[in-house]
Amino acid sequence: MLFKLIGKEVMTNKLAEIFSIFHDGGIDEINVDGNSMEITIGCAYLAQMENEEYKNFYLSLENVTTFEFHTWDDEIFTDIPTMVNFWPEIMTAEIEKETIKVVCNIDTENKRTGGLLWIKANLVSLKNHKKAELSINQLETMSRNYWDNFGRK
pLDDT given for residue 8 in this prediction: 46
> 73 vs 117, which has greater pLDDT?
117
d(CA 84, CA 18): 19
Mean pLDDT taken over the chain: 88
Closest-CA residue to 58 (of 127, 121, 1, 122)? 127
- Which amino acid appears at position 63 of this protein? N
* Domain limits, the chain: 8-148
Region at 151 (left for phi over 0; alpha for psi -120 to 50; beta for the rest)? left
Tell me which amino acid residue 65 is.
T
| DSSP 8-state assignment for residue 41 | E
What angle, 0 to 180 degrees and rounded to 10, lies between the N-to-C axes of helices 8-21 and 136-148?
30
Instruction: Tell me the three state secondary structure of residue 68.
Output: strand
> What one-character-per-residue DSSP string does 73-133 give?
TS-EE--HHHHHHH-PEEEEEEEETTEEEEEEEEE-SS-EEEEEEEEEEEEEEEE-TT--B
Whole-number pLDDT of residue 2: 41
pLDDT at 76: 94
What secondary structure letter does DSSP report for 9? H
Query: pTM higher than 0.85, yes or no?
Result: yes
Q: pLDDT tens digit string along 6-65?
A: 444 446 788 899 999 999 999 999 999 999 999 999 999 999 999 999 999 999 999 999
8 Å CB contact between 1 and 113: no
